[in-house]
Amino acid sequence: MRLGFMQPYFWPYPGYFALIARSDTWLVFDDAQMIRHGWVNRNRVLHPEEGWQYVRVPVKGHAREALIRDVEVSDLEWGRRFVSQLAHYRRAPHRAAVIGLIESVACERHTRLVDVNVAALRAVSGYLGLPFNPRLHSELDYDRSAIQGPGDWALEAGRALGASSYVNPPGGRELFESARFAAAGIELEILTYGAEPYAQGPRSFEPHLSIVDMLMFLTPDEVRARLGAASIESVPVGDSEAR
């Protein structure tokens, strides 16, 4: 079983779904600390004129050390503002389908941020025909006393789930020790998603946006093909940095 394990991002970038597409089980890191100005309650779409703009789900005030699972949504009508920020996509060929996805999640009126994000991940995965089998890390029963640093969470959670491999984006590579994964019978893998340009109407390509943007312009088959083109490499034992 290949494990994917990430914080629940808000309508995340396409590479996030490339990870989902390659994972048998998706573990939602809902008891990670909520990072201010991160991607858990915001993402980016095209700006009406040039560049990009943020879209957000507003959240209630919380302590700096609050966990994602404990963060609450402050405005259950967040979907209306989100949709209004997409008005300039009116000529995008798949706008109606994307607006439908957003509204289907917003109308569920989740009060917890993690539930909003998991619902969005499920909606997009369903639209794209990707298998999505999420579990909340906070509900996974295992001994957390062995966790000494950030690189241990995936190792110990994977051990508890009986994973045969764990896949992660390149940015987290330095957190993990491949030898320790190998000792636990888990293959450490890195997935690299190449953000190839696609037509965004008449403007020049703006990279690093939410999946929402790609869905506006490409069919599900076209998106799935791009996600499937992401490459996976196995990290040789000893070829990763210690914490």
- List % helix, strand, coil for the chain (3-state, nearest 5): 40, 20, 45
Beta strands in 13-73 (DSSP E): 25-28, 42-46, 52-56
How far is Cα 186 from Cα 159, in angstroms, rounded to an integer? 8
Domain boundaries, the chain: 2-234
Q: Is this structure's pTM higher than 0.85? A: yes
pLDDT 10s digits, 34-70: 998 999 999 999 999 999 999 999 999 999 899 999 9
User: Quick check: 232 pLDDT over 60?
Assistant: yes
Q: How confident is the model at residue 239 (pLDDT cuts 50, 70, 90)?
A: low
The neighbouring-strand residues paired with 191 are: 232
> What single string gives the DSSP state of each residue in 77-139?
THHHHHHHTTGGGTTSTTHHHHHHHHHHHHTT--SBHHHHHHHHHHHHHHHHT----EEEGGG
Residue 242: per-residue pLDDT = 42
User: Quick check: 82 pLDDT over 60?
Assistant: yes
Of residues 232 and 173, more confidence is placed in: 232
User: Quick check: 238 pLDDT over 80?
Assistant: no
Residue 189: per-residue pLDDT = 97
| 169 touches 235 (CB < 8 A) | no
Q: How confident is the model at residue 243 (pLDDT cuts 50, 70, 90)?
A: very low
C-alpha separations of 25 from 18, 19, 38, 161 in Å? 13, 11, 24, 9
Instruction: Locate 238 and state its tokens.
Output: 């000893």
Length of the chain measured in residues: 243
| 35 touches 49 (CB < 8 A) | no
